[in-house]
Structure formats: structure tokens, C-alpha cells
Structure 1
């Protein structure tokens, strides 16, 4: 498992809220179509054909999209943040939603996310804060990550658990259904899946 920082495009106010409420993150870079099955050089050609990227901007876009489509894996962790709060989630697979391909929207390149934890940015480990401060849209954490304990990189929020914050509101029936799915996953033959389910249940139980 790895940890990645994803930066929301600041001019698009409300994007973080959309990530949290609709359970996804995006890479940006509209106008280049579905990247499922595209290799790194295919992505480069798509970016060049779009005509909006060149030089360092082209290389940054290429690196971010290649990481988002190919390097990230189902079960890795993602961290996003606004000015005050940071949010940790469990990543799903890449998918392309053509309804959001416009330049004004620009969120067509997506990965599903199960959000696990939120806390004030003042409580972040300095290494994680540096990850969020990176200039690129998608940035991998380069240090060694303790298996199933990404929370070790997050300090306790000021004021204890009561200070934790979330924009996501979910009804109790949905929560119960999600817990049933996680409990079933505890008996999966896939070790990583069992581990992720255990982490999610323990996070909920806090």
C-alpha cells in the first residue's frame, strides 16, 4: 500500500466538498478523453494534441496522469486538504466519466474513494504536510509507510476526537449496510482486502 496526495484546483471552489460527498478524487486535465488502457506515451500524445500543455507544464501533467491512471492501485491511500482540514481515504480503481469532461468541470478522470478520517491541518505530521504542499496535482509519498497504519502519519487533532470534522453526512441505514460489507470482507481470501476492511471498521469504531 502507498500514500498519495491529490491537490484540488483552488479556483474551483467546492471541489473538496464534491470529493467528500460523492466519494471520489480527480486528476484534472480535461479534453484528452478516457485514459483506460493508455500507456505513458499515449498520454503524452493526448496532452500534445490538446494543445494546452508544453515544457514543464506538459511533463507535470504527464507525471500526474500516469501516476493517477497506472501507479495508484485499488487499496492505496489518498490524502486531500482544504485550507483547514485534511482527509484520508482508501482508493478504488480509475474510471472515466465523460459527463465531466468540460474545461469548466474537468473532473472526468476519477478514482472512487472510501473516506476514513479527517482532522485539522495543524495536526498533520510535517512529512504529510509537505506532501500536500507539493506543486504537482498528484504526488506519491516517498517515505516508508507502515502497513495498514497510515494514521501514524497523522497527529491527534487538537482537542481530541471531538475536534474531528467531516462534511460527509450518511444515513444510518447506509452505514449499517456498509458495515455488513466490511464484515463480509474480513473473511476474504485476499489479505489486503481483509486488512483494509479491518482498518475501516476500526476507524468507524473510534
Structure 2
């Protein structure tokens, strides 16, 4: 793809992501083209159908979340990486409130694409969980479905002015709960006569 064509495609994906987040996937394609400052013909050359555009936007955002899990795991201790990623995930979902209902419909459509893409986020979360368990910094009796259920309560809360601060406190509370169940390694008893 020529450099200018790639730039136009990137602008369209970014504009579509913002428009879908604000108004859902029924946003007019003309509005998306206008936001990207390209003609509607350019949009159709890159994305022949609305479904194709939605798939590309969704895949890009899923990839970014999964990449964030790997980046955080390289830069932070496992439990810290897990907490930071959960906050990023909550922020991501909250920013997509306009897309939430539309994505539920698409995910329920049994599309092979959406089934594969939606499985990547729990897998990224499970990698972070496994690393934190192996490190001994969180309890071992949880999995990604437990945390996804807890996170849905956080990102599903009404978006009041203090929502972001409250979500950070709730993710921190969740992490405190994960850490509190860790069995501390007991010290070996002193040999007889050395007490």
C-alpha cells in the first residue's frame, strides 16, 4: 500500500473508532469519512462494507489491549502489571460505551472473526494472572473469568464526574483482595537448642 493510502486508512480507522465510541456502529459512514478528512469513495476503497470497518477497528483495539499486557509485563512486577492492565481495560471499555450494545450484538452473531478476537483479551489477562500467581504475589484460586466478572461491575457503573477516580480505587481494592489471599511462606523452625 502506498504511504498516502496507508495514512488515509489509518485516519479512517481512528475516526471510526472515535465515532463508534460516541454513537455506536450505526454512525454514518459519511460522518466517518468527514472526520477523517477523506472522501466517501476513499472510505469504500479501503472498507467495502460497514462490517469490514467495524472488524478492523475492533481487531486493532483488541491488539492494542493485548500488546499492553505484554508491555506492562516486561516493565513491572507481575502483580503491578496485572493491576495496571485491569485499569487500562476498564478505561478502554468505559470509552467504548457507545459501542457496547452494538459489540454485544456482533459478538453474539457467532462470527468466527469476533469469536477469535474476543478470546484474545481473556488470554492476555490469563497470562498476567499466571505470571502473578507464579511470582507468589496474588492468590492462586482465581482465573480470567473471575476478574472479568469483577471488572464488568467497575466499567458498568454510571459514568459520573468522579467515575475515573472511583474506578482506580475499585481496581486497587480488587488488587488488595487478590494479594490478601496469598499464603506467606512460613519460616523454617529453628533446630532444637537454637530457639
Same fold (TM over 0.5): no
Who wins on radius of gyration, i.e. which is larger?
A: 2
- Structure with larger RCO (C-alpha < 8 A, sep 6+): 1
TM-score normalized by the length of structure 1? 0.28
- The structure carrying a bigger helix percent of its residues is 2
Counting strand residues as a fraction of each chain, which structure ranks higher? 1
TM norm structure 2: 0.29
